[in-house]
Structure 1
């Protein structure tokens, strides 16, 4: 029902001043609705106008209707629709990029295609109307309509249409400024959140802790709930979840494990590699929205982002929102967060796998179990201190030779990694074979030195062997041969701590080791402590070395249930600087049975 009106440039001084004032107002408002009073007051100055309406439509559905009359120009009355109101099929906004359009309506001939404004205008006494439609964004448009008691003359109607277009152009310009400002502000907030999220996720190399952090990061800042699934052979495994309400958490956990609709949704997202945002009818058939039960009815939007890292599918990141769709994070942020989360999860998973492999290899370089020689109680402990997850070169062993003597071995290969591991295996197994065969400690070290020199290895090895020979009444003679290794300590039964010095140079460097064994006697209650330099070289933040505290620590830990583990724990607590593996081997002399 209506014909398009033409445009003319306004020339009235009063109108120019009013339009200028509206432009000034438009620069300060935070929402275009804040301009309604100025827009309606301006429109009501048109000759013969009796009522003005403003409507806002989002995806064809009415959001609000405002109305002002000549007798009550401000404030505008807001009318909320009782139910969904949609624009008629013939009522469309201008094409994208086009300016406001003006349409005329003869209200005496009916107003079915002009709902709901037509009825409101007629009720306020209007018989004819000019409507200006203008686009605010994708699927978002509005209309300002001026109702007249009588149809104005053509020239007056054209002038009013021109002024109405100018009013709407100010609204559009102001709206674009507000949207740009909000987008900029939102992007800054999102970027700050993403930066903090990266710091949080990257601050741990523990896979389970990283998964928990991913789930907790966005609740409630981004969404009311979050679930992380990881890809397993043939299924998706829910590994972490968080909800803003503790009472709803069990429901979300159960849903993540058992709901077939959600499982199908996530599997499809992984298969397609596509992100999803579902709301309204998109939630039909699932446990969310109006068709859901219990806590699910409060969920208004669900987003799913596949997690991919280094060319492989990792899992999915799912958010459930109780808020409006307009308030959820932008697709850019969801995608960016999913990418960062996937990389963090993949990194920590790879770290965990590598750590397990290193631990397995490290165990192969150490004895599976210590012997149980008569009269001697053995304890050993090992700590990997290097975060690079390279196999260390520290080793220890304990063997009983064919004559019943106990040989204790401890050593350290310079460096880390595969080459160090190979040399560690060579050193431990060579010494073990020789000592089991009864080879004297010094000769065993010389044989190993010759083998290392024959390989032209570019790493040196330190080692120490202590051979205990029972002399009766629980006492043992101890012969100690060392090749560049830190001297062991003996804690005597009366509490004294002695250092046992045995000289000799590093293995694998010179053909002559210049070994000078040391000989001592130990009795029941005495404790012999062998260790690598990772124990003594642990440093505090002030630069103090644990070596200075070691005699006292040995004195206090010697009678502990696990003296080796206790010594390493103390050094770890003390350490702020220094990053080296530590091995400790303890022989406690028992009372004769």
Structure 2
């Protein structure tokens, strides 16, 4: 009877472990960092029979960044920041190949090590340890402490190795995804810069674009300093946390420790990376206070162009691994930024006023078209992130009229911004060169498919051609929300045209239609941030869109789009999607 109950207990335990391991794999699929596995992983190991403590450490060589611990007496995971270099003694524990479990007596270990002190305090005498290689040369160690060596049986060692392997595989996936993001951001940034290099350049626009492109895809913070006649000056900064913007701006402008580090880079002309002990005495790292405590490393790249050092590009990281992995891209980014800044400076010397470099995803102004009043509006949905995926543009027609384009890239952030630039510039260039809307959309779809991105794009193209006292409107849709036609008497019609999304299939079909626009009528185009804005009671703006188009279209034509966008912002209580509105109203002849 006792043997039967023992087998049943082991089977039940095996079933519980299998279920939890399956859950851990599921978490690993969506985790943004291996630390996202911590709570599940540590809880699983602590529930093993005889386990008194579970301790994990994160290393870069001999540099111990932090340790995470749970014990029977304190089962809630706690994180202790270390950032101390233990040299060869620390690096000796680094894994040599795939995860393997080793068993030690606690009394034989170096008692000065923080993780050993935690194990001793928890009353452990023996431990099983599994070291795991992580991306960019980093590594982690998972330790399970018990009261005696006999408790560390085959089952415990096997399970420790299993969770360690989950962490390793998850880290490889995360590292690969980040590397791909860096590549896409780098390629898009450099490609866009090359397209604009022959255009007029503006220093302010350029440096702001540098910061916004890299945060948060590459780093959590960015500061750009230039060597101006009055000295080294902070000219642009960005932080992923809007609440830390003011702090970063003050540090960039006033901190003497940072200024000295920048001068070191300017003097040597070589990049500088600091972490751990290298951050001591400055505003960053665990020894600092406030927002700077989250910074684990900084990198400073000189801005060099045409044989001159123009300034510095500084990035702040909450993860040291990212700082190491992005060094090649940052060097290229700094070189391109320096070249752009230097080109604009030289251009300023030849002309009194500089025409701003169009690096933004939206046109600076809309063209003036005879017989039509154009208005546009853009509202950012996420205040921490002002780069989204919505775009619009207007291309004047060769024989009068205009071609309007409006689209939306799935998601937001650096990758979405890169694809937004690709979509807008591709469509505009092809339409300017005389391509038909069908051909332009087909070419954009092919470009997106080649990018092999997981994001899709919706687009709407409308061609307005003079027709008597009004205009003939022909429109094409690629999965985009249907535009509306507001008639002069206030009635609203939906212009339905279904079509396939761009960037998903190689062969796609577009929905199309045509309609006449008489004097006083207005074509209203918008992204799904308008229809999907949600009020506090759960209703969507789509339910009142027609009424608002009727109301907001009753005023001056020039402000139509702005009034509609403002109505959406006032309505919504939730929703992080951006809002883009583009309106063309035929001018009345009376």
TM range (shorter): 0.3 to 0.5
Greater CA radius of gyration, 1 or 2?
1
Which structure has more RCO (C-alpha within 8 Å, separation ≥ 6)?
2
TM-score with structure 1 length normalisation? 0.43
